[in-house]
A and B are shown apart, each in its own frame.
Chain A
């Protein structure tokens, strides 16, 4: 269609040919890899008066955890943990310790029924804080009933590290896309090439689409690369054990019925969608503001502002809308956000709604941007 494929390849070339793209991408990629490794490679622990490198500690801990993998977290396992003094049950202890909010005494005297009851009481409090409606509570109670009554322990550190790094990964992606795509349209004006392209037969709609597709491709490529780098370094370091473990082993106060590996894949899908949204927004601002610097400033300013704003759950609607801002959504917090969205009679969880919301927003930006582009005129410089 109107040389779209050829134009697309040239537009992609224009984006990736810039030195700033390679410099920024290399720096951010390095940060993403180090983010997963830094906790283990550059620190140490003092255990019983002996200094142990974080890596050695992790290796030993992982070996112990693997011995426990596949065992139900029941009275037997808890009793073994309580009787043990060799740190062989460290992962089980940590799991219970988190549920009891650091109450060591309670952990050392708990049984399975109490442990799972504590989790339920945490959920109840969370639902109250989030001001869930009775309909929403009923929804989540039905979800809870589909979860196993007793969880089977799996070592999930690899997936946990990926998920906990998602928020940072999102900021890195945002910066990379902002730096690299803010000039897609404005550079044409800056270089005065707009007067050449706009008077060509395919200089309006086909060129606009080619630029957008190239920008989206770059965004998707960047997202895939960063996520793959972070995921690969985490899984290589901690292992890929626990793909099918219940998500509640990583986040006990979540009611999502997904598995650990599935949640990582879901976040990858969301990360890709967010990359499309960021790409569209950067290019839209580039077109409307006619200045790469202004587009970049506005993007980064918006991100900082969103990060600084905290809206408590008392203002439910405002707080819920804010929770869909990608800097908030792509974080562990969203896994425990049980506020639903009613859409055409269906009750959607936040991630289900995000899968609709982000593409819809990207589409709106695409159409609005095309209106600006089609009416753009080359006036005096």
Chain B
């Protein structure tokens, strides 16, 4: 399995959000680091096919990003996603499962399973508007996993999670990353230290670093700051 991002560019009227980013992603967890406005979310949206690039392509095993087959193997958790306040947690997952093409029985089975995974089984029948921020985030993680995605894109997935949930989440992602491609962006560098096989760093729309992360570096945060400093940024 291979996700190929080839010279991907997104240019707005007076700014380049993503500038000729090229990547080849295989099975594993990829951690995407970058300051606000670096282009992480724009890149992820283009990988998910919800934002059309100005130029460049995204393909997964030959499938183009705009195809239904591509979307069938994609899981996406946006940075700031919405929900339907009058839906229960279970309704929301069943709805998302039907959008992902799961049959009724598979949708119910998978929803129950994922509600257990994210510890929301007791809140499954409560309306989402009664959920806390962390519960909504866990529900968002659950929806991204409904179709057992081969490509999982997670934009700031740990935002709103408490430390215990964060640890559970890291373990879950590490497990998924064994057989699938996981691209994860975060501001919390420590989240990546434990699970990312490869670190990607973006700045001003460009990919400034791509390298394996095996823990031999003593501090990822210091490494990240060093990388961005080398590019001339004063912290």
Q: Are A195 and B78 in contact (CB under 8 A)?
A: yes
**Residues on the B chain within 8 Å of A197, using CB:** 99
Query: In the complex, what residue of chain B is closest to A379 when comparing beta carbons?
Result: B51
Q: A193-B83, A203-B71 are in contact. Are A6 and B100 (CB under 8 A)?
A: no
Q: A2-B101, A191-B82 are in contact. Are A10 and B50 (CB under 8 A)?
A: no
B residues lining the A interface (CB < 8 Å):
45, 48-52, 68, 71-72, 74, 76, 78, 80-84, 86-87, 91, 94-96, 98-104, 107, 143, 147
**Residues on the A chain within 8 Å of B80, using CB:** 192, 381
Chain A positions 190-206 with a Cβ under 8 Å from a chain B Cβ: 190-204
Query: Does A179 make an interface contact (CB < 8 A)?
Result: no
Partner of A200, one of B51, B52, B71: B71
**Residues on the B chain within 8 Å of A13, using CB:** 87, 91
Q: A6-B98, A17-B86, A193-B84 are in contact. Are A201 and B71 (CB under 8 A)?
A: yes
A100–chain B nearest beta-carbon distance, Å: 60
Q: Are B49 and A199 in contact (CB under 8 A)?
A: yes
Q: A195-B76, A377-B50 are in contact. Are A202 and B86 (CB under 8 A)?
A: no
29 pairs, CB–CB < 8 Å, chain A vs chain B = A3-B99, A3-B101, A3-B102, A6-B98, A6-B107, A10-B94, A13-B87, A13-B91, A14-B84, A191-B82, A191-B84, A192-B81, A195-B45, A195-B48, A195-B81, A196-B76, A196-B96, A196-B143, A197-B99, A199-B71, A200-B71, A200-B99, A201-B72, A201-B147, A202-B99, A377-B50, A378-B50, A378-B51, A381-B80
B77–chain A nearest beta-carbon distance, Å: 9
Q: Are B82 and A202 in contact (CB under 8 A)?
A: no
Q: A3-B101, A7-B98, A378-B45 are in contact. Are A198 and B50 (CB under 8 A)?
A: yes
Partner of B82, one of A7, A17, A18, A192: A192
A20–chain B nearest beta-carbon distance, Å: 12
Q: A191-B84, A192-B80 are in contact. Are A199 and B74 (CB under 8 A)?
A: yes
Count chain B CB atoms within 10 A of each CB in A191, A192, A200, A378 and give the residue with the most: A200
Count chain B CB atoms within 10 A of each CB in A2, A13, A201, A378 and give the residue with the most: A201
In whole angstroms, how far apart are the Cα atoms of A204 and B68 in the complex?
9
Query: Does A207 make an interface contact (CB < 8 A)?
Result: yes
Q: Are A377 and B51 in contact (CB under 8 A)?
A: yes
In whole angstroms, how far apart are the Cα atoms of A306 and B222 in the complex?
67
1/0 per residue, CB under 8 A from B, across A352-378: the answer is 000000000000000000000000011
Query: In the complex, what residue of chain B is closest to A203 when comparing beta carbons?
Result: B99
Query: In the complex, what residue of chain A is closest to B102 when comparing beta carbons?
Result: A3
A371–chain B nearest beta-carbon distance, Å: 14
**Residues on the B chain within 8 Å of A204, using CB:** 68
In whole angstroms, how far apart are the Cα atoms of A14 and B99 in the complex?
15
Count chain B CB atoms within 10 A of each CB in A3, A10, A195, A377 and give the residue with the most: A195
Q: Are A10 and B82 in contact (CB under 8 A)?
A: no
Q: Are A10 and B98 in contact (CB under 8 A)?
A: yes
Contacts across chains A and B counted by CB atoms under 8 Å = 86
1/0 per residue, CB under 8 A from B, across A167-211: the answer is 000000000000000000000101111111111111110010000
**Residues on the A chain within 8 Å of B45, using CB:** 195, 378
Q: Are B100 and A202 in contact (CB under 8 A)?
A: yes
In whole angstroms, how far apart are the Cα atoms of A207 and B100 in the complex?
11
A330–chain B nearest beta-carbon distance, Å: 33
The 4 closest A-B pairs by CB, nearest first: A191-B82, A192-B82, A200-B99, A6-B98
**Residues on the A chain within 8 Å of B86, using CB:** 14, 17-18
**Residues on the A chain within 8 Å of B71, using CB:** 199-201, 203
Query: In the complex, what residue of chain A is closest to B143 when comparing beta carbons?
Result: A196
**Residues on the A chain within 8 Å of B95, using CB:** 7, 10
**Residues on the B chain within 8 Å of A191, using CB:** 82-84
Query: In the complex, what residue of chain A is closest to B49 when comparing beta carbons?
Result: A199
**Residues on the B chain within 8 Å of A194, using CB:** 50
B114–chain A nearest beta-carbon distance, Å: 15
In whole angstroms, how far apart are the Cα atoms of A47 and B147 in the complex?
77
Query: In the complex, what residue of chain B is closest to A7 when comparing beta carbons?
Result: B98
**Residues on the A chain within 8 Å of B87, using CB:** 13
In whole angstroms, how far apart are the Cα atoms of A201 and B67 in the complex?
9
Partner of A196, one of B68, B81, B91, B94: B81
Q: Are A3 and B98 in contact (CB under 8 A)?
A: yes
B81–chain A nearest beta-carbon distance, Å: 6
Q: A10-B95, A191-B83, A191-B84 are in contact. Are A199 and B50 (CB under 8 A)?
A: yes
Partner of A201, one of B51, B68, B91, B107: B68
In whole angstroms, how far apart are the Cα atoms of A197 and B87 in the complex?
15
**Residues on the B chain within 8 Å of A18, using CB:** 86
In whole angstroms, how far apart are the Cα atoms of A7 and B87 in the complex?
14
Q: A199-B49, A200-B99, A378-B51 are in contact. Are A192 and B78 (CB under 8 A)?
A: yes
**Residues on the A chain within 8 Å of B72, using CB:** 201
**Residues on the B chain within 8 Å of A10, using CB:** 91, 94-95, 98
Q: Are A202 and B51 in contact (CB under 8 A)?
A: no
Count chain A CB atoms within 10 A of each CB in B50, B51, B74, B84 and give the residue with the most: B50
In whole angstroms, how far apart are the Cα atoms of A379 and B18 in the complex?
13
In whole angstroms, how far apart are the Cα atoms of A381 and B84 in the complex?
19
**Residues on the B chain within 8 Å of A378, using CB:** 45, 50-51
In whole angstroms, how far apart are the Cα atoms of A381 and B80 in the complex?
10
Q: Are B68 and A377 in contact (CB under 8 A)?
A: no
A59–chain B nearest beta-carbon distance, Å: 47
**Residues on the A chain within 8 Å of B107, using CB:** 6
Q: A201-B71, A377-B52, A378-B50 are in contact. Are A193 and B82 (CB under 8 A)?
A: yes
A190–chain B nearest beta-carbon distance, Å: 8
A197–chain B nearest beta-carbon distance, Å: 6
